[in-house]
Amino acid sequence: MWTKNNIPNLKGKTVIVTGANAGIGYETALALYQAGADVTLACRDKNNTLKAIDQMIAIGGKGSLNFDLLNLASLDQVKSFADNFKAKNQKLDLLINNAGVMLPPPTLSDNGFELQFAVNFLGHFALTGHLFPLLEQAGKARVITLSSGAATQVDYIDFENVKLEKKYNAQREYAQSKLADLQFAYELNRRLNSLKSDVISLAAHPGVVRTDLQRHIPAAELAIAFSHFKSVSEPWQGALPSLYAATNETVKGGEYYGPDGENEYSGYPALSKQDTSATNDEHQAQQLWAFAEDVTKIKFPY
């Protein structure tokens, strides 16, 4: 049974966790801070993040905590965050692409993309690209991208419906964004392998967890939804697959971790069995990569 107590000493490691002010991101950042890492909480809400940092300091840790403003719904603001971080840091050992939005009303990002696709995938693609030089500088760095069991609910990325071109289906669009995250994590690792880079890319999913991510779901609907699951994790447990992928010495690039319980709803970290023909479709992943490069104007790795 692997828990955060198994995380090795991370003194001297530089870490970014997106969406780290609440839920799984908060627990992820806290555990890394407790293990000695220098953690930047990359979030869009300054007040809530500073409160989260105060809570973590009160709990205690061996590393350091910093806040930097990151709005993943704006590619310009993603670049501003990255430029600011690069001005202050020489390397990045660990990037955890954790932030997400789930089932919001139909909304477009600053760049005109459906919000879930923009935040969950496109913003993280751009962030990883902008920060790639620092990942390379760190040597054996890791990129962990959060996906979801919802990634298995769609068979492809519909590039003709990433700007709300079709009638909005919140669950379908969420699933598409999480399929994109998983395809991105795998394709990034393939590209890193081809370059013989020391950087590796992995994916993780938390299982079924009660967090603020579900804030757009009416309480009655949420209660019914959770009643269908035999077990539901608390955020600390939902963070374990990400933490395992980020810190365990035995992991390999291109792996996908989730909980080990029934249907991967809850439990302790293990290799996920939720891959589908779509998540493993290299042609689709290459299409997604080319699309993201065109939109963001960022080409990496190199």
Q: Give catalytic status of residue 168 as yes or no.
A: no
Q: Identify the active-site residue in 74, 109, 147, 242.
A: 147
Three-class SS of the chain: CCCHHHCCCCCCCEEEEECCCCHHHHHHHHHHHHCCCEEEEEECCHHHHHHHHHHHHHHCCCCEEEEEECCCCCHHHHHHHHHHHHHHCCCCCEEEECCCCCCCCCCECCCCCEHHHHHHHHHHHHHHHHHHHHHHHHCCCEEEEECCHHHHHCCCCCCCCCCCCCCCCHHHHHHHHHHHHHHHHHHHHHHHHHCCCCCEEEEECCCCECCHHHHHCCHHHHHHHHHCCCCCECHHHHCHHHHHHHHCCCCCCCCEEEECCHHHCCCCEEECCCCCCCCCCHHHHHHHHHHHHHHHCCCCCC
Q: Give catalytic status of residue 178 as yes or no.
A: yes
Q: Identify the active-site residue in 178, 197, 201, 266.
A: 178
Q: Identify the active-site residue in 174, 186, 244, 256.
A: 174
Q: Give catalytic status of residue 156 as yes or no.
A: no
Residues taking part in catalysis: 147, 174, 178
